[in-house]
Structure formats: structure tokens, C-alpha cells
């Protein structure tokens, strides 16, 4: 199977690297800066499940793509989706399967409109990972799972082939017959985690110690209510996992959105919190989610303003 990995960061670099480690036919579509890093340092993974280094993974730029791929793993940030869609146009043929591992659900609408719903699978990744200054991928926990499936729940020939291909990698993978339901459950989970840790600017354990457990539980309930109203009520098991995770005493857990804020970077607040809020239609019924979204949106406005001021200062100097 000819596989194109869009992005070589914490998700694409990790799962693509593990497939490369297993001898699969993997090419990474990366931007020039990441290509320079990989050319200099190679692809490096540091993980509790074993390290992996490849000195020269196969790289490609969008302008160099000539032929379609069998499988495209889309692992970009949600705010880079439009650019990513444009970059893979020449890689998508009539039999190409696109497996997005983005957060939220808006990306399905975008991909469906551009490539047709038949080309787009459902998918999600569960992993905590980041990159250091040299571009090494650091696996931060002991979860490395990718889940995928046909959105209508069918067991197609291509999904069986993808299942076999993924099984060769040294990570956990599984086919789901209810992938859209699982994507909604993950969205509820990460919106709660992102909302609570970004708003309070601290770990789950610190929030719990400050008396914030009820806030976390109520935010989870608001997010779950939106999913339920949309036709995808989270299972009792997923809700119980959320309650336990976001109220655990002493937990060092933080969301990647909070970590993005801490380093002054761009966040997926619009896609994870804002889009979920809009799907609820009535913000008065989800005051905590509205507060969390407004907090992150204000951060983004301030970040953009300060960047513009710096640019204007440089231009005037």
C-alpha cells in the first residue's frame, strides 16, 4: 500500500515513523522548514515503547506530487486544513482513501466538499506527543492508538486492507464500525480537557485541588449535551472516563491547547471549542463552554494584535 503522511509532527511523524519502521511504503508531505529538520537530523522518535531513528525518510513537496496514493493520513492541525487540502489534490485518485486524524468534525465537511464523501474515512488518533527543538518526536504517555472506519459502518475491502496495513506498525490500531460516534465522543472529551485546562491555565490536579472538579464535570455535561442533541449521545463509559480523568487528584494532565497557549502559539480553539459551541445553537444553555471559548478566542485576538504591532514596528524601524 502506497501511503502519504501529511505532516511529520507529533501525530503524522509518530504513526508514519512506526509504519516506516515496519517496512511500509511511506512518504511524508512536509513544509520546507520541517524538510530541512528531517534532512539534518532524520526522523527520530523517543517513546516508552522503543525509540526509532531513520536518517533519510522519503519526503515530498506538494509541487512534486505526480501520482495518486492508496492511503493519505491527514495529520495536520485543524487551522492548517485548507492548505493541506490544496497540497494533496494531485495525490488523490479515484481509489484513494483519505484518513483524517484531526480533532472535531468540521474537517469532514471540508474534505467531503473537495474530494467527495466516498474518499473520506472517519478516524481519530489517541496519543500525547510533541517535538523538541531539533524536531525529534517525543511520545509523552503510554497510549498510541489510531482508530479508523467507513463512516457508514460498512466493512469495505479498502478498510480491511488498511486494517492489515496498520496492524504491521508497532502501535495500537483498530477498525471501528461506529467511527463517527467515536469521533464525537473524543470531541466531547478533548473539548472538556482543552476548555478546563486552558481556562484555568493549569493541570487537572491543580484545578481539582482548587475546588474545580464540579466545574470540570459541568463542562463535560454541556459538551455531551451538544453531542446528544446532534444525534450522537456519548456512551456512559466515555462519560465516566471523562469524569474520572478531569477530576483526578494530583493529575499532571493538560491539554495540547493549554500547552499551545503557554508557549504563545496558535491554538485549535476555533475548531474544538468554537465549532462545538455553534453546533449547540443556544449559547445560554452552555455557559461554561461559552466562557472557555471566549477565553481562548480573546487570547487569539491578543496574539494577532501583538504580532501585527511587532510587524509594524519592524517595518517602521
Active-site amino acid positions: 186
Q: How confident is the model at residue 314 (pLDDT cuts 50, 70, 90)?
A: low
Which residues of the chain does CATH 1.10.1040.10 include? 182-305
Helix (H, G, I), strand (E, B) or coil at 273: helix
User: Which residues 6+ apart lie within 8 Å of 92 measured at CB?
Assistant: 68, 69, 72, 98, 115, 119
Q: How confident is the model at residue 140 (pLDDT cuts 50, 70, 90)?
A: confident
- From CA 261, how far away is CA 197, in angstroms rounded? 10
CA atoms within 13 A on the CB side of 203: 9
Q: Indicate the CATH number of 2-177 among 3.40.50.360, 3.40.50.2300, 3.90.1200.10, 3.40.50.720.
A: 3.40.50.720
- From CA 90, how far away is CA 116, in angstroms rounded? 15
Which residues of the chain does CATH 3.40.50.720 include? 2-177
**Global pTM?**
0.92
State the DSSP code for 89. Answer: G
Q: How far is CA 1 from CA 67, 72, 137, in A?
A: 14, 11, 24
Q: Residues for the chain: how many in total?
A: 317
Give tens-digit pLDDT for 118-135.
999 999 999 988 889 889
Which set of grid coordinates corresponds to residue 158? 479498502
Instruction: Provide the CATH topology of domain 182-305.
Output: 1.10.1040
pLDDT over 60 at 317, yes or no: no
Least confident among 151-155, 253-257, 268-272, 274-278: 253-257
Chain position carrying cell 509504519: 19
Give tens-digit pLDDT for 37-90.
998 899 999 999 999 999 999 999 999 999 999 999 998 889 999 999 999 999
User: Which residues 6+ apart lie within 8 Å of 308 measured at CB?
Assistant: none
What mean pLDDT do residues 212-223 have?
A: 98
The torsion angle over the Cα atoms of residues 8, 9, 14 and 18, rounded to 10 degrees, is: 10
User: Which residues 6+ apart lie within 8 Å of 3 measured at CB?
Assistant: 16, 19, 24, 25, 26, 27, 69, 70, 71, 72, 73, 165
Helix (H, G, I), strand (E, B) or coil at 128: strand
Amino acid at each position: 500500500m502506497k501511503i502519504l503522511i501529511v505532516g511529520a509532527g507529533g501525530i503524522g511523524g509518530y504513526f508514519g515513523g512506526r509504519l516506516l519502521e515496519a517496512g511500509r511504503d511511506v512518504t511524508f508531505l512536509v513544509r520546507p522548514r520541517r524538510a530541512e529538520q528531517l534532512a539534518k537530523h532524520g526522523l527520530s522518535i523517543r517513546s516508552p515503547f522503543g525509540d526509532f531513528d531513520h536518517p533519510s525518510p522519503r519526503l515530498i513537496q506538494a509541487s512534486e506530487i505526480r501520482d495518486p496514493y492508496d492511503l493519505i493520513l491527514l495529520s495536520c492541525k485543524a487551522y492548517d486544513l485548507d492548505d493541506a487540502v490544496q497540497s494533496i489534490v494531485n495525490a488523490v485518485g479515484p481509489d484513494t482513501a483519505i484518513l483524517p486524524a484531526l480533532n472535531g468534525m468540521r474537517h469532514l465537511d471540508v474534505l467531503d466538499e473537495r474530494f467527495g464523501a466516498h474518499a473520506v474515512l472517519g478516524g481519530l488518533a489517541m496519543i500525547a506527543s510533541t517535538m523538541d527543538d531539533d524536531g525529534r518526536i517525543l511520545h509523552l504517555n503510554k497510549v498510541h492508538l489510531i482508530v479508523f472506519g467507513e463512516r457508514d459502518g460498512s466493512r469495505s475491502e479498502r478498510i480491511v486492507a488498511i486494517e492489515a496495513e496498520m496492524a504491521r506498525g508497532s502501535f495500537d490500531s483498530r477498525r471501528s464500525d461506529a467511527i463517527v460516534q467515536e469521533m464525537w465522543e473524543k470531541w466531547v472529551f478533548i473539548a472538556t480537557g482543552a476548555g478546563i485546562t486552558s481556562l484555568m491555565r493549569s493541570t487537572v490536579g491543580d484545578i481539582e485541588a482548587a475546588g474545580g472538579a464540579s466545574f470540570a464535570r459541568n463542562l463535560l455535561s454541556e459538551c455531551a449535551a451538544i453531542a446528544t442533541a446532534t444525534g450522537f449521545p456519548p456512551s456512559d463509559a466515555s462519560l465516566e472516563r471523562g469524569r474520572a480523568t478531569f477530576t483526578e487528584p494530583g493529575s499532571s494532565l493538560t491539554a495540547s491547547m493549554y500547552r499551545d497557549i503557554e508557549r504563545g502559539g496558535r491554538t485549535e480553539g476555533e475548531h474544538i471549542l468554537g465549532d462545538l459551541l455553534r453546533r449547540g445553537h443556544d449559547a445560554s444553555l452552555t455557559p461554561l463552554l461559552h466562557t472557555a471559548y471566549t477565553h481562548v478566542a480573546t487570547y487569539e485576538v491578543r496574539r494577532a494584535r501583538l504580532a501585527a504591532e511587532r510587524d509594524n514596528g519592524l517595518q517602521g524601524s
